[in-house]
C-alpha cells in the first residue's frame, strides 16, 4: 500500500459519504439533535427535504427509519453510539427482525471520546449489535475508510450499525488504497509471521505503532484493520492462524463481546491458538483527556506490544 498522510476523524468520513450517497434518491437522513456531531449536518444543509429531524428521541428515530425503509427509502440514522443503545430493542425488533435496510451510525464511540465522561463513552455497542441476527457491524479507523465503507452500505440488503469516533487519528488509507476496502473483508496493513494483531477504530493506529516498535526487537507482526466486526472475515482468520500461530485483538471497547470476543468465538472452535485481548477490562471510563484516558484504561501501543510478546511466548511454550 502507498503511504497515507495526514489525519482525519471517522465521523468526518461519514458526513462526506452521505453527500456522495445523495445521488441515490432513495437515501434519506435522520437526526436526533446531534447532526453537528455525527456530521450528518452537511447532508441536511444541502438536502433539507430529505433530512428528518426527530429531536432528542432515539427510539422514535429508529422506527421512523424502519417505516421509511419499508416504503422504499434507504435511511441513514445517526446519533451518539451510546444513545443508539437506548433504542436497542427498537433496533432489534423494529429494524433487524423484519430485515429492513436501515443504516445506523453511532458516533463518539469508545473511551477515546474523552471528557464528557463515562455516560458518553460507549464500550459495549459493538457487542450488543453483533448479537442481533443478520446485522452488519462496522468500526472503521479513519475518515477515508469510513467514507468508502459508508458508501458501500448502499448495496447491503439488511441493516447495519457503524461506530465512528470523535477525534482525528493518523490516516491508514489514501485515495488509492481505499479502493481495496470491502465490507466483510479485513484489510491487511502489514504482514509478518510472528503474531497477527487485529484492531479496529482508533486502535488501528496504535497497532501499527506497536508493530513498528516490535520490529525493532525482531518481531514481525501482521496488522489487520478489522473494520467489519460482523460478518467476521473467517477466511482471513484461517489464513493468519496458520501463518502466525497467535493473535492479539485491540479495540476501544470492552473485551467482552466485541472484536476480541468475536475472535475468541471463532478460535475456540476452529483454531485454538493463543489470544491476548487489549480492550476495556470490564470497567467504565471517566472524564479526562482522550490520551490520558486511553493510557488509564490500557489502550496504548505499549499494551499491544506487551500482549504480542506474551502471546508469542505462549505459542512457543505450546
C-alpha distances in Å from residue 82, one per residue of 31, 106, 153, 251:
15, 7, 21, 16
| Residue pair 163/125 in contact by the 8 Å Cβ criterion | yes
3-state helix, strand, coil split of the chain in percent (to 5) is 45, 20, 35
Residue 235 Cβ, how far from another protein at the closest point, in Å? Answer: 30
| CA angle in degrees (0–180, nearest 5) for 302-307-311 | 150
When the beta carbons of 59 and 170 are compared against another protein, the nearer one is 59
103 is a site residue for another protein (CB under 8 A)? no
Q: Which position among 19, 33, 44, 93 is part of the footprint of another protein (CB under 8 A)?
A: 93
Task: Please give the torsion angle defined by the CA atoms of residues 170, 226, 183 and 60, in that order, rounded to the nearest 10 degrees.
Answer: -80
d(CA 242, CA 293): 35
Interaction of residue 236 with another protein, rule CB under 8 A: no
**Contact between 131 and another protein (CB under 8 A)?**
no
Which of 37, 85, 88, 99 binds another protein (CB under 8 A)? It is 99
Binders of another protein among residues 7 to 46 (CB under 8 A) are: 28
Distances from the Cα of 133 to the Cαs of 92, 95, 125, 130, 156, in angstroms?
Answer: 9, 11, 15, 8, 15
Tell me the catalytic residues. Answer: 58
In the complex, the smallest distance separating the C-beta of residue 104 from another protein, rounded to whole angstroms, is 14
Using the rule CB under 8 A, give the single segment among 12-20, 94-102, 123-131, 241-249 that binds another protein. 94-102
Tell the smallest beta-carbon distance from residue 25 to another protein (Å).
9
Sign of CA pseudo-dihedral 15, 2, 231, 88: negative
Position 89 contacts another protein (CB under 8 A): yes
Q: How far is the CB of 52 from another protein (least distance, A)?
A: 6
Is residue 90 close enough to count as binding another protein by CB under 8 A? yes
Q: For residue 224, list its beta bridge partners.
A: 188, 198
**249-268: contacts with another protein (CB under 8 A):** none
The cell for 311 is 502471546
> What is the pattern of x (binds another protein, CB under 8 A) and - over residues 44-83?
-----xx-xxxx-x-xx-xxxxxxxxxxxx-x--------
What value, to the nearest 5°, has the Cα angle with vertex 199 and ends 196 and 201? Answer: 165
Instruction: Please say which residue, 99 or 288, places its beta carbon nearer to another protein.
Output: 99
For the bound state, the minimum distance from the C-beta of residue 118 to another protein, rounded and expressed in Å, comes to 24
Sole window of 14-22, 93-101, 264-272, 276-284 interacting with another protein (rule: CB under 8 A): 93-101
In the numeric block, the cell 500500500 is attached to 1
| Residue whose C-alpha is closest to residue 305's, from 214, 226, 222 | 214
Residue 80 or 266 having the CB closest to another protein: 80
10 Å Cβ neighbour count for 175? 10
CB of 18 to another protein, least distance (A): 16
Which residue number, 9 or 62, has a Cβ lying nearer to another protein? 62
Quick one: cell of 164? 465512528
Q: Which residues bind another protein (CB under 8 A)?
A: 28, 49-50, 52-55, 57, 59-60, 62-73, 75, 89-90, 93-94, 97-99
Amino acid at each position: 500500500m502507498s503511504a497515507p498522510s495526514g489525519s482525519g476523524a471517522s465521523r468526518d468520513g461519514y458526513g462526506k459519504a452521505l453527500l456522495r450517497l445523495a445521488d441515490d434518491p432513495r437515501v434519506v437522513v435522520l437526526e436526533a439533535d446531534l447532526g453537528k456531531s455525527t456530521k450528518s449536518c452537511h447532508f441536511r444543509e444541502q438536502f433539507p427535504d430529505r433530512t428528518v429531524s426527530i429531536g432528542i428521541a432515539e427510539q422514535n428515530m429508529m422506527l421512523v427509519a424502519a417505516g421509511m425503509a419499508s416504503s422504499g427509502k434507504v435511511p441513514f440514522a445517526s446519533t451518539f453510539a451510546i444513545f443508539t443503545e437506548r433504542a436497542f430493542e427498537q433496533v432489534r425488533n423494529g429494524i433487524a427482525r423484519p430485515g429492513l435496510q436501515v443504516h445506523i451510525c453511532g458516533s463518539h464511540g469508545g473511551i477515546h471520546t474523552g471528557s464528557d465522561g463515562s455516560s458518553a463513552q460507549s464500550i459495549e455497542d459493538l457487542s450488543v449489535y453483533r448479537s442481533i441476527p443478520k446485522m452488519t457491524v462496522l468500526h472503521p479507523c479513519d475518515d477515508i475508510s469510513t467514507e468508502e465503507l459508508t458508501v458501500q452500505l448502499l448495496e447491503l440488503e439488511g441493516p447495519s450499525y457503524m461506530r465512528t469516533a470523535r477525534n482525528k487519528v493518523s490516516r491508514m488509507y489514501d485515495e488509492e488504497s481505499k479502493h481495496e476496502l470491502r465490507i466483510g473483508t479485513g484489510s491487511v496493513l502489514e504482514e509478518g509471521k510472528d503474531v497477527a494483531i487485529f484492531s479496529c477504530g482508533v486502535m488501528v493506529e496504535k497497532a501499527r505503532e506497536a508493530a513498528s516498535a516490535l520490529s525493532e526487537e525482531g518481531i514481525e507482526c501482521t496488522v489487520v484493520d478489522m473494520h467489519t466486526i460482523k460478518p467476521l472475515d473467517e477466511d482471513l482468520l484461517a489464513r493468519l492462524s496458520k501463518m502466525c500461530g497467535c493473535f492479539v485483538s485491540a479495540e476501544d471497547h470492552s473485551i467482552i463481546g466485541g472484536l476480541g470476543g468475536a475472535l475468541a468465538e471463532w478460535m475456540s472452535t476452529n483454531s485454538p491458538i493463543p489470544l491476548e485481548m487489549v480492550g476495556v477490562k470490564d470497567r467504565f471510563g471517566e472524564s479526562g483527556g482522550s490520551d490520558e484516558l486511553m493510557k488509564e484504561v490500557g489502550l496504548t501501543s505499549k499494551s499491544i506490544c506487551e500482549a504480542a510478546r506474551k502471546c508469542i511466548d505462549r505459542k512457543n511454550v505450546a
